[in-house]
Chain A
Amino acid sequence: MALKHVNAVIVGAGAGGGIVAKELAQAGLNVVLLERGKWYSPFDARKDDLRNQRTTALGNAFGPEDEGNPRVFVDPQGQEHVVLPSEGNYSNNAACVGGGTFSYGAMAWRFMEKDFRMRSTYGSVEGSTLEDWPISYDDLEPFYEKAEWEIGVSGDAAANPFGPPRKKPYPMPPLPPNREHDILKDAAEWLGLHPFPIPMLHNTIPYNGRPACMRCRWCVGFACEVDAKCGTHNTVIPKALATKNCELKTQCVAKEILTNAQGRVSGVAYFDSDGKLQEQPADLVVVSCGAIESARLLLNSKSNNFPNGLGNRSDWVGRNLQGHAYTGAFGLFDLDIYDDLGPGASIAACDYNHGNPGLVGGGMLANEFIRLPYQFVQLLPDTVPAWGPKHKEFMRKWYRRSMGVQGPVQEMPVFDARVQADPKVRDRWGIPVARLSGTRHPRDVETGKFLASKAEEWLLEAGAKSTWKSVPGLWLSGGQHQAGTCRMGNDSKTSVVNKSCQVHDVPNLFVVDASVHVTNGGFNPVLTIMAIAYRSSEYMVKEWKGTKFRS
């Protein structure tokens, strides 16, 4: 039996969905926000080195759980593997209220102006669907600002000479420097680089009714014990609920988006927390499940009007899956580097995002978050034996004397790197699972090698006695920075949504998350997801007042 009709149902309470829920609820729409995971609190910050969202030896702390949530991964040789959420090839993002923002590292980057014009800046790239965004940085600027002030960002806006134009500073100052910051800052300046404190979505002073970061070592991948990390779970979602116009339903798994005879969407079918199938009718539907699950939901929503899934008339849904080739170097030093001052990541440089000779784009470089002991085991160079006395001696000698500098390579979108609905494997609710195949573009590896050599140069200048590089190869790229699977564009033949995130041929259906990114910047993408969510919400509210979506 269908539930009571609402104005909007939003699938996914992450970075995108949380913001849309608040904007629509405050505009007076009644909203149902569906989330497949749970709502955790700071008291769920278990600081467990082996079970968190970064190190998943014993599973994901904030979902999805290994049981009943498989995916199919097709390796570059065409071999199929059924993979679990705690395995790397699953390309997981968290499943909980707040989504990735509940436990992320929280770097708060604005993309640069050129990141929206990659095709016009660099020309076409063979084997890539590289394209400009249909919107510019200027279109997003006010919404970046809104995200920075409403969700909460700390940083020093004036310190990055490559930063795109902005009208307001960050609402909070950066944290005081840690030892890595001090060492790397001098070295960067000697090299002629332009280092600055990393903008972060965490409180450095009391803000929004929550305290400041206490600088513990369990940051990226963990919930914040003092609630200083700013995500949608502790900002916009509580605000949405406070309007009384928004109902948050957790542990609800969307099965498909329902359509009517007129070719519009009419609601969402989902399994509630008791496993019971429910139908939630709505005037409009917003899909915000992350690039892999959003594509999967659209592809699983088949009907006579939409035999290949929603938004998929041109076969672009699920295409261009991209993340970031994280590349960089580690160095060993004569002196103690470790100062136990979290989050660790503190200094960055944007000198290599663009204008690298012979390369298309590039990426930001920043020092790494604190490496917990077991994480460090996984980062050792090939020259160290994998076990035995030499391994132990290396750990003992260098753990506190190492530093890493890394960055996300802006990837070239590849049409065949994709998400499909698997024809055979189903999850515990009987829904076809995501099938991931394809690899990143060879140019990404090339750019990665360049960026890693620059990271190495920086570490050597800082006094590293020895270094080793880490560059990902030709493999599927997704993970927590997953993007691109429902591209934004003006032409419905080569994209899925328009510049307001509205699906081209279904006016009351929106996709609001990194799926819509045409390219994914040389930066962590979350602030861009948030800005796009604010911008798209503004359009929905405006059109709503014109009663365009009412059915």
Chain B
Amino acid sequence: MQMAAAAAAASPMFSCSSTDSPWRFFTVQEARTLEAICEQIIPADKDAGAKQAGVVNYIDRQIVGHFKRHQKTYREGLAAVDQTSRTLFSKVFAELSSEQQIKILEALEKNEVPADLWKGRSAKQFFELVVEHAMQGFYGDPRHGGNRNGVSWRMLGVPYPPIRGRLHYDLTKPVGTQPA
């Protein structure tokens, strides 16, 4: 509750439509759609995908902070994705089969979407923004809410190194003259 209040305070233009959403900005339905999109962008295989990495958590955290300027784009874009899915396949995006989801995303990428549903907005630009943010949430630093447990870094073979460096000791003075 406290979090929802903070999110509402941070985004006076677009308050959460459902106060029982566990997210800072997204409604339950928006988060579900976004998670399904992101899972197609970075699907789970033998390694974790976007969902397990917490990519939506990353985007949700940034969109009440550094990405505040994208709030409108996400709100309208996610609604348009679900409308496009309903029009073409009679279900919201998250309930489509994987093949149908990919068809929709490919259509977004090429801007080949029903113009009346997107009202002059660029589906391609919206999708590219989500791809960019999904990559950040998956491959970026875990401290920002994505890449949970460093899953992508483990996949790539670059685990977070043990802390080294830090000015624990003054290396310019002879060793042993300072407390450990």
Chain A residues positioned under 8 Å from B40 (CB to CB): 387-388
Whole-angstrom CA separation of A48 from B128 in the bound complex: 23
Whole-angstrom CA separation of A48 from B146 in the bound complex: 13
Binds A, one of B14-22, B111-119, B148-156: B148-156
Q: Is A241 an interface residue (CB 8 A)?
A: no
Chain A stretch 185-233: residues in CB contact (< 8 A) with chain B: 206, 209-212, 214, 216-217, 225-227
Q: CB within 8 A of B164: which of A216, A227, A386, A395? A: A216
**Interface size range of chain A in the complex:** 35 or more
A226 contacts B136, C-beta separation under 8 Å:
no
- A50-B144, A57-B136, A59-B66 known; A396 vs B47 contact (CB < 8 Å): yes
- B136, closest chain A residue (CB): A57
Whole-angstrom CA separation of A43 from B172 in the bound complex: 18
The interface bits of chain B over 114-157 (1 if a CB of A lies within 8 angstroms of the residue's CB, else 0) are 00000000000000100110111001110110000000110111
Q: Is the interface of A mostly helix, strand, loop or mixed?
A: loop
Q: Is B13 an interface residue (CB 8 A)?
A: no
The interface bits of chain B over 151-180 (1 if a CB of A lies within 8 angstroms of the residue's CB, else 0) are 011011110010011110001100000000
**Interface size range of chain B in the complex:** 35 or more
Chain A residues positioned under 8 Å from B140 (CB to CB): 49-50, 57, 373-374
- A66, closest chain B residue (CB): B66
A338 contacts B167, C-beta separation under 8 Å:
no
Q: Is B45 an interface residue (CB 8 A)?
A: yes
Chain A residues positioned under 8 Å from B156 (CB to CB): 373, 395-396, 399-400
Whole-angstrom CA separation of A340 from B160 in the bound complex: 11
Question: Separation in Å of the B59 CB from the closest CB of chain A?
Answer: 12
Q: Is A392 an interface residue (CB 8 A)?
A: yes
Chain B residues positioned under 8 Å from A216 (CB to CB): 161, 164-165
A387 contacts B42, C-beta separation under 8 Å:
yes
Whole-angstrom CA separation of A388 from B155 in the bound complex: 16
Q: Is B94 an interface residue (CB 8 A)?
A: no
- A374-B139, A377-B135 known; A392 vs B45 contact (CB < 8 Å): yes
Question: Separation in Å of the A344 CB from the closest CB of chain B?
Answer: 12
Q: Is A389 an interface residue (CB 8 A)?
A: yes
Question: Separation in Å of the B5 CB from the closest CB of chain A?
Answer: 23
B43 contacts A389, C-beta separation under 8 Å:
yes
- B135, closest chain A residue (CB): A377
Chain B residues positioned under 8 Å from A42 (CB to CB): 167
Q: CB within 8 A of B153: which of A43, A373, A392? A: A373
Chain A residues positioned under 8 Å from B131 (CB to CB): 386-387
Chain A residues positioned under 8 Å from B155 (CB to CB): 395-396
A-B interface, 10 closest residue pairs, ranked by CB to CB distance from nearest: A211-B171, A225-B165, A373-B139, A387-B41, A374-B139, A49-B141, A399-B156, A50-B140, A226-B165, A377-B135
Q: What are 13 A-B residue pairs whose CB atoms fall within 8 Å in the complex? A: A48-B141, A59-B66, A209-B172, A216-B161, A227-B167, A373-B139, A373-B153, A377-B135, A387-B42, A388-B41, A391-B41, A396-B47, A400-B158
